[in-house]
Structure 1
Amino acid sequence: MTVQLGFSDFDPDDCPVAATAVRMDVLDNENETPIHRHRKGQLVLALRGGITCDVPGTRWIVPPQSGVWIPGGLEHSNKATANAMICLLFVEPDSAALPERCCTLSISPMVREMILRLAVMPRHYDPDSHCGRLARVLLDELTVQPVEDLSLPISGNPKLQLIADALTRTPADRSSLAGWADRVAMSERSLSRLVERETGLTFGRWRQQIHLMVALRELSGGAMVHQVAATLGYGSTTAFITMFKKALGKSPAKYFQERSEQASVAD
Structure 2
Amino acid sequence: MATDTGDDYFASDSSLPEPAPLTFRYHRFTPKSEFARHRHRWGQLNRISLGLVELLLDEGKVVAPAQYLLWTPPEVPHAAYIRQAMHYTSIYVCDELAARLPGHTCLIEQTPLVRALLDDFSLRQITVPSDPWDIHQAELLCRRLQESAHEASYLPDSPHKLLRPILDAIRQDPADATPLKEWAEKVYSTERTLARLFQRELGISFGQWRGRARLVEALARLRQGDSVQAISAQLGYATPSAFIAMFQKQLGASPERYRRQFLQAGQWQEGLSA
Identify the TM-score tier after normalising by the shorter chain: 0.5 to 0.7
Q: Secondary structure at the match of 1:77?
A: strand
Q: Is 1:121 equivalent to 2:126 in the alignment? A: yes
Provide the rounded CA distance (Å) in 2 between the counterparts of 1:116 and 1:222.
30
Cα pair 1:65 1:108 within 8 Å, conserved: no
Q: Is 1:150 equivalent to 2:154 in the alignment? A: yes
| Aligned counterpart, 1:223 | 222
Deviation string 1:4-52 (CA, Å, 9 cap, x unpaired) is 7xxxx4448632412122221113x311111111121111112122211
| Aligned counterpart, 1:108 | 111
| Aligned counterpart, 2:24 | 21
1:71 alignment partner AA: P
Q: Note the 1:188-267 alignment, pairs <5 A.
A: 202=164, 205-206=167-168, 208=170, 216-217=215-216, 219=218, 223=222, 227=226, 240-241=235-236, 252-259=243-250
2:35 alignment partner AA: T
Shift of 1:261: 7.2
Unaligned segments of structure 2, at least 5 residues: 1-7, 175-209, 255-274
Provide the rounded CA distance (Å) in 2 between the counterparts of 1:214 and 1:12.
40
Cα pair 1:49 1:222 within 8 Å, conserved: no
Cα pair 1:225 1:252 within 8 Å, conserved: no
Change (3 A) 1:101 1:2: closer
Provide the rounded CA distance (Å) in 2 between the counterparts of 1:111 and 1:49.
19
1:139 alignment partner AA: C
Q: Note the 1:71-90 alignment, pairs <5 A.
A: 71-90=73-92
Change (3 A) 1:257 1:50: same
Provide the rounded CA distance (Å) in 2 between the counterparts of 1:252 and 1:31.
28
Change (3 A) 1:115 1:257: closer
Cα pair 1:50 1:216 within 8 Å, conserved: no
Identity %: 17
TM-score by length of 2: 0.58
Task: List 4+ stretches of structure 1 deviating above 6 A.
Answer: 210-214, 260-263
Change (3 A) 1:3 1:227: farther
Q: Is 1:44 equivalent to 2:46 in the alignment? A: yes
Deviation string 1:192-232 (CA, Å, 9 cap, x unpaired) is xxx669xx962662574597777645645892899499xxx
Provide the rounded CA distance (Å) in 1 between the counterparts of 2:64 and 2:223.
18
| Aligned counterpart, 2:36 | 34
Change (3 A) 1:214 1:260: closer
Shift of 1:92: 1.5
Q: Is 1:60 equivalent to 2:59 in the alignment? A: no
Q: Secondary structure at the match of 1:72?
A: coil
1:100 alignment partner AA: G
Deviation string 1:168-199 (CA, Å, 9 cap, x unpaired) is xxxxxxxxxxxxxxxxxxxxxxxxxxx669xx
Cα pair 1:65 1:107 within 8 Å, conserved: yes
1:253 alignment partner AA: I
Q: Secondary structure at the match of 1:100?
A: coil
Cα pair 1:39 1:72 within 8 Å, conserved: yes
Shift of 1:146: 1.9
Provide the rounded CA distance (Å) in 2 between the counterparts of 1:68 and 1:55.
13
Provide the rounded CA distance (Å) in 1 between the counterparts of 2:35 and 2:110.
23
Question: Once superposed, what is the RMSD of the aligned Cα atoms?
Answer: 4.0
Q: Secondary structure at the match of 1:33?
A: strand
Provide the rounded CA distance (Å) in 1 between the counterparts of 2:169 and 2:17.
41
Q: Is 1:139 equivalent to 2:142 in the alignment? A: yes
